């Protein structure tokens, strides 16, 4: 499978921002963990990160016909980006939403995800391992096609 991993705003600041919430692993190390696990599972992983909503939407649209699955951490866009939700619905690519922190143990506004409804599932609170769980979920989903 070809899997596109999309990371939204501030994910590039991992290892710098709020280590008590997001941990000490930096963004480059996160990318290495994900791509290495993908190789072990014989999956082609492609990484993308942007702080700009429109670039994320463009990347989702560009994925149409090119990728078998998407893992997305929309960051703060999770809570209000109907545009990302619409883009995910438009391409009809199985998508897993991932959050490093448990969004349900944080501020009330983080408890609502408008983007999750466009996904096959959501993984929250397992740190960077959530991305690995997302890969495994997409592999399983692909078996059931």
At 42, which CATH number? 3.40.50.9100
User: Domain tally for the chain?
Assistant: 1
Stretches in the chain below the pLDDT threshold 70: 18-19, 21-23, 104-107, 109-111, 145
Please tell me the pTM assigned to this model.
0.92
Q: Exposed, middle or buried: residue 27 (CB in 10 Å: 0-12, 13-18, 19+)?
A: middle
Catalytic-role residue among 22, 67, 77, 85: 22
How does pLDDT run across 123-132, given as a tens digit for each residue?
A: 998 889 999 9
| The pLDDT of residue 11 | 93
Q: Say if CB 9 and CB 77 are below 8 A apart.
A: yes
99 assigned to active site: yes
Residue 122 pLDDT: 96
Is 80 tagged catalytic? no
**Choice among 67, 77, 85, 99 that is catalytic:** 99
Given this model, what pLDDT does residue 18 score?
A: 65
């Amino acid at each position: 499978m070809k899997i596109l991993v999309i990371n939204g705003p501030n994910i590039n600041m991992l290892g710098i921002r709020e280590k008590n919430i997001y941990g000490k692993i930096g963004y480059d190390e996160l990318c290495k963990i994900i791509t290495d696990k993908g190789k072990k599972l014989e999956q082609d992983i492609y990484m993308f990160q942007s702080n700009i909503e429109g670039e994320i939407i463009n990347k989702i649209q560009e994925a149409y016909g090119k990728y078998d699955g998407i893992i997305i951490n929309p960051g703060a866009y999770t809570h209000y980006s109907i545009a990302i939700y619409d883009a995910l619905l438009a391409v009809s690519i199985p998508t897993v939403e991932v959050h490093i922190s448990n969004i349900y143990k944080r501020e009330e506004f983080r408890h609502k995800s408008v983007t999750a409804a466009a996904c096959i599932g959501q993984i929250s609170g397992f740190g960077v391992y959530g991305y690995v769980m997302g890969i495994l979920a997409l592999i399983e989903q692909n078996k059931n096609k």
